Copies of this chain bind each other. A is one copy, B any other.
Amino acid sequence: MAKILRINTKNKTATFETPSDEYKNLGGRALTSKIVLREVPGTCHPLSRDNKLIFAPGMLTGTPAANSGRMSVGAKSPLTGGIKESNTGGIMSQKLARLGIQAIILEDKPDDDAYSIIVITKDSVEFLPANEYLGVLNGDMMPRLWERFGKHVGVASIGPAGEQRLTSASIQFADPKGHAGRAAGRGGLGAVMGSKKIKAIVVNDTDTDRPSLHDPEAFKTANKKWGELLTGHPVSGNGLPAYGTAVLVNIINEAGALPTKNFRSGRFDHAQDISGETLSANIEKRGGIVSEGCHPGCVIKCSQCYHDKDGNFLTSGFEYETIWAFGAHCLIKDLDDIAMLDRLCDDFGLDTIETGVTMGIAMEGGLIPWGDGKAAIELLKKVGTGEPMGKIIGNGAAFTGQALGVDRIPVVKRQALPAYDPRAVKAVGVTYATSPMGADHTAGYGVCQNILHVGGTIDPLKKEFNVGISKDLQVATAAIDAAGLCLFVAFPVLDDATGLQLIVDMLNAQSGLSLTTDDVVALGISILKDEHEFNRLAGFTQKDDRLPDMFKETFPPHNTTWDFTDAELQEAKTF
């Protein structure tokens, strides 16, 4: 049975625990959120020794199930002040599962300034001095740690942003090629890791096997259909592999929902220049990889390696939301500039959404000109140097807006809004407002029904049905995050009723349990209840489930506004 690895970062001790009844059978987001709720005081400062940082593979992670290698990272967020589950790809999660580790819990913090690397193998958990790595970029950490500890070890590391405990700091994860392009990006969890003085965690699964399955044959049968389902759907089988998530640039722009110039309109004149089609064409021309998975066993392969004009590696895991944030939001139309900004975020360890939105706020505040990609690159580099302007930028949109006296700051619970305008994709707007995570598209991706006609069609411009859609998606997403499945499995699952049953079949074949689809829904609801309860203890109320007044502005081209009442929104949190 899997164990919980509890690590005290002050005493540098590690103990393996049998999970309590409440923790056992949980994985991913279900487990991180349960531990945060039970073990972290709601009112504590997120950088204090009372906060904990939890890494948990999903329930299916470690099995051969397609797209099941995701991991949840949880803590009280330094950015929002509420609970945070930040979901990442990369190769570490499956290695933890093979080591029989259900979760790592990092506790307490050192009294001195000495950083450590934690190295976990089949036989040991070691703290190694890490001061030699201080200031090292994530993109350099990965190869250095592979060289030192063996190629293909799992790595989670923080960059200069996490070391500075900036609230946009991410934790970056090595992908199968050892690039640092995978991230637990949102909510500043890199700052929590920095506060505990952990520069990196290395997971070496040498001489381990996959966790055994209760019924391998039944699992194999279900997983075969599961893989076919994923590759057979037009979004997960065609659009995402061909163009990456950037396939959305033209789609969302066409829908009039691509927030442009800090959410002033829904269409960007230069959308084509930063589209998935342009991205793929550049890769074809320059070399690189059009389509690859973020973890072994992925059949969707929406990731890529993007090279510069000279054919040298520039960035990987180059996502739609990143391209939007630095692109349409900032009026930057040079995709290579945006790729460099993405690379810098990965290297410094910064959430690309928060940082891209912040860059637009810097433009709104007159710090650099709108659309000036080169100026944005120079400004972002200041995060790496640790100079004061870098501390401003690296603390995110609300912070930078305050520093510059800007009055249009698109955040909910102090977290920046992603790449879908809430006035033109209202189901996503409801998710922004009501998710326990703060503004987060992944928490309930209403773009499906509002724009993509996946799982039905709901008018994105009207209020009707969009609260209910957001609520259902939030529940489903929480369960998917608990399972360790990639969120993009939702596309086929929403369109094909057999999908959810296949997930249940795999869980049962793995564990010997007799779960039903109702149990999966109940799990999703239970996760959200835990998260809302933590936020309640932290001091959040329904008053925090609001969008800023700037969204009362009329939003072209559809000229809609944000018009939900507090009471209407609460429906999305009522189970």
Segment 243-290 of A: residues with Cβ below 8 Å from B = none
Is the pair B539, A543 in contact by a Cβ cutoff of 8 Å?
Answer: yes
Cβ of A191: which chain B residues have Cβ within 8 Å of it?
A: 405
Cβ of A387: which chain B residues have Cβ within 8 Å of it?
A: 388
Closest to A390 in B: B388
Is the pair B549, A48 in contact by a Cβ cutoff of 8 Å?
Answer: yes
Interface residue? A86 (CB, 8 A): no
Q: If A388-B388, A388-B389 touch, does A403 touch B395 (CB 8 Å cutoff)?
A: yes
Is the pair A549, B44 in contact by a Cβ cutoff of 8 Å?
Answer: yes
Is the pair B45, A550 in contact by a Cβ cutoff of 8 Å?
Answer: yes
Q: How far is the CB of A360 from chain B (nearest CB, A)?
A: 16
Tell me which of A163-171, A319-327, A519-527 binds B: A163-171
Closest to A79 in B: B402
Q: How far is the CB of A309 from chain B (nearest CB, A)?
A: 33
Interface string of A386-413 (1 = CB under 8 A from B): 0111011001000100111111110000
Which of A195, A391, A404: most chain B Cβ within 10 A? A391
Interface residue? A41 (CB, 8 A): yes
Is the pair A543, B541 in contact by a Cβ cutoff of 8 Å?
Answer: yes
Cβ of A549: which chain B residues have Cβ within 8 Å of it?
A: 41, 43-45, 48, 50
Q: CA separation between A102 and B84, bound complex, in Å?
A: 50
Interface residue? A239 (CB, 8 A): no
Q: How far is the CB of A350 from chain B (nearest CB, A)?
A: 15
Closest to A113 in B: B366
The residue from B166, B403, B407 contacting A391, defined by CB atoms under 8 A apart = B403
Binding site of A, secondary structure by majority: helix, strand, loop or mixed?
A: loop
The oligomer's copy count stands at: 2
Q: CA separation between A403 and B166, bound complex, in Å?
A: 7
Q: If A407-B195, A409-B45 touch, does A392 touch B388 (CB 8 Å cutoff)?
A: yes
Interface string of A190-219 (1 = CB under 8 A from B): 010011000000000000000000000000
Interface string of A6-49 (1 = CB under 8 A from B): 00000000000000000000000000000000000101111110
Interface residue? A573 (CB, 8 A): no
Segment 37-92 of A: residues with Cβ below 8 Å from B = 41, 43-48, 50, 78
The residue from B166, B403, B546 contacting A405, defined by CB atoms under 8 A apart = B166
Q: CA separation between A194 and B392, bound complex, in Å?
A: 21
Q: How far is the CB of A361 from chain B (nearest CB, A)?
A: 12
Q: CA separation between A405 and B391, bound complex, in Å?
A: 10
Interface residue? A455 (CB, 8 A): no
Is the pair A407, B546 in contact by a Cβ cutoff of 8 Å?
Answer: no
Interface residue? A369 (CB, 8 A): no
Interface residue? A472 (CB, 8 A): no
Interface residue? A308 (CB, 8 A): no
Is the pair A48, B195 in contact by a Cβ cutoff of 8 Å?
Answer: no
Q: CA separation between A333 and B191, bound complex, in Å?
A: 34
Q: How far is the CB of A195 from chain B (nearest CB, A)?
A: 7
Cβ of A44: which chain B residues have Cβ within 8 Å of it?
A: 549
Closest to A50 in B: B549
Q: CA separation between A47 and B404, bound complex, in Å?
A: 11
Q: How far is the CB of A187 from chain B (nearest CB, A)?
A: 14
Cβ of A540: which chain B residues have Cβ within 8 Å of it?
A: 543
| 24 pairs, A vs B, C-beta closer than 8 Å | A41-B549, A43-B549, A44-B549, A45-B409, A46-B407, A47-B405, A47-B406, A47-B407, A48-B408, A48-B549, A78-B402, A164-B405, A165-B404, A191-B405, A194-B405, A387-B388, A388-B392, A391-B403, A391-B404, A392-B392, A392-B403, A395-B403, A399-B402, A541-B541
Given pairs A44-B549, A391-B392, A399-B402, 9 additional interface contacts (CB within 8 A)? A43-B548, A45-B548, A45-B550, A194-B405, A388-B392, A392-B392, A395-B402, A539-B544, A539-B546
